[in-house]
């Protein structure tokens, strides 16, 4: 397997994180136990994870001309992600995520998109040649939908695989679904996208099948501590999660998607790729912060050994 080459078109967010015994109720002020500032954003997180697993990664997105933006670009470079195509937008500020994490490691997030929502198709044009030369394009939904669709069209024209992480969930056209080789919603995102309540495995499977009917080729539903469910036209497989002690679940889905992209870009079989992605997601929840928690290649490969999927009932 050669070194994977991946383009990520997506978001960059500076995360302000507070830890507390529990998350506050409506109208409540609560004393926290700790605070941290971390580089984040689904696009940047997934790019960093892919780079940590050995891929050559190019990030396309926007930040503001401010301290947060400079910090995000500096961190991408530190993590060996090519930030040439990250634009500093003078007309706005960098996106910020406000995150509260409880003692169980579960989080609530308010993300203010700012520069992310000023991404344009012209930004993608700047990285068009790189997309054509890459193995895979990775997308999320924290930038304008038009930009995602435009990037996916370019990738398809060039015969480049597309993975769409439809997060945060919102209505998306069938065109974007059909342009994607793999779609990776969470349980709740599957419910929002399909209207099928994700309260048990059968219903989650039904939701995934409805996405297949809308043009999806492969749907991989991430299930948190329950692992992941892969659904295609011909089969479905449940991949159990690795047992770890969760400290901070922020970025677990991004670890999964970054690792999945690397494995697919390297030419691994889909089932093996999902196992690797599950291992990365599990390891990421054992440390604090989105990008600081993303695991290295050797950690993921070690945890990945020996796990097997099984047919759902």
DSSP string, 247-305: S--TTHHHHHHHHHHHHHHTT--HHHHHHHHHHHHHHHTTSSSTTTTPPPHHHHHHHHT
Q: Which of the four pLDDT bands, split at 50, 70 and 90, describes residue 109?
A: confident
Tokens representing 276?
């690797």
Question: Could you tell me which CATH class the domain 10-21+33-311 is placed in?
Answer: alpha beta
What pLDDT does residue 310 have?
A: 42
Tokens representing 305?
């050994």
Domain boundaries, the chain: 10-21+33-311
> Closest Cα partner for 131 from 109, 106, 150?
150
Summarize pLDDT for 16-67 with one digit per residue, the tens: 999 999 999 999 999 999 999 999 999 999 999 999 999 999 999 999 999 9
DSSP string, 109-172: EEEE-GGGGG--HHHHHHTHHHHHHSSEEEE-SSS-HHHHHHHHHHHHHTT-EEEE---S----
Model confidence at 250: pLDDT above 70: yes
Query: In this structure, are residues 145 and 181 in contact, taking their beta carbons and an 8 Å threshold?
Result: no
> Closest Cα partner for 215 from 182, 165, 174?
174
List 89's β-bridge partners, or say none: 64
Q: What strand order describes the sheet that includes 34-40?
A: 34-40, 13-19, 95-101, 107-112
Residues 200-205: contacts with CB within 8 Å, 24+ apart?
A: 201/229, 201/238, 201/312, 204/229, 205/229, 205/231, 205/236, 205/312
Catalytic residues: 254
Q: Which of the four pLDDT bands, split at 50, 70 and 90, describes residue 312?
A: very low
Lowest-pLDDT range of 108-117, 127-136, 258-267: 108-117
Lowest-pLDDT range of 118-122, 156-160, 195-199, 249-253: 249-253
Q: To which residue do tokens 């809308």 refer?
A: 214
Mean per-residue pLDDT over the chain, rounded: 93
């Amino acid at each position: 397997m050669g070194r994977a080459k991946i383009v990520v078109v997506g978001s960059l967010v500076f995360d302000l994180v507070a830890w507390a015994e529990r998350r506050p109720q409506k109208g409540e002020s609560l004393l926290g136990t700790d605070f941290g500032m971390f580089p984040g954003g689904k696009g940047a997180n997934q790019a960093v994870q892919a780079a940590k697993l050995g891929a050559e990664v190019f990030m396309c997105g926007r930040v503001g001309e401010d301290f947060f933006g400079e910090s995000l670009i500096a961190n991408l470079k530190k993590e060996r992600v090519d930030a040439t195509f990250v634009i500093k937008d003078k007309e706005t500020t960098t996106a910020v995520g406000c995150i509260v994490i409880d003692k169980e490691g579960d989080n609530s997030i308010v993300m203010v998109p700012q520069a992310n929502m000023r991404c344009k198709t012209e930004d993608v044009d700047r990285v068009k040649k790189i997309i054509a030369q890459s193995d895979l394009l990775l997308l999320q939904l924290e930038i304008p939908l038009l930009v995602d669709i435009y990037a996916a069209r370019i990738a398809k024209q060039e015969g480049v695989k597309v993975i769409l992480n439809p997060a945060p969930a919102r209505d998306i056209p069938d065109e974007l679904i059909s342009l994607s080789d793999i779609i990776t919603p969470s349980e709740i995102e599957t419910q929002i996208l399909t209207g099928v309540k994700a309260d048990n495995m059968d219903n989650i499977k039904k939701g995934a099948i409805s996405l297949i009917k809308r043009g999806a080729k492969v749907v991989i539903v991430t299930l948190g501590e329950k692992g992941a469910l892969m659904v295609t036209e011909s089969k479905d497989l449940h991949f159990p999660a690795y047992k770890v002690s969760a400290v901070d679940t922020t970025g677990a889905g991004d670890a999964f998607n970054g690792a999945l992209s690397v494995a697919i870009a390297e030419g691994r079989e889909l089932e093996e790729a999902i196992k690797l992605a599950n291992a990365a997601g599990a390891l990421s929840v054992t440390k604090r912060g989105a990008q600081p928690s993303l695991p290295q290649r050797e950690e993921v490969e070690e945890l990945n050994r020996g796990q097997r999927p099984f047919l759902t009932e």
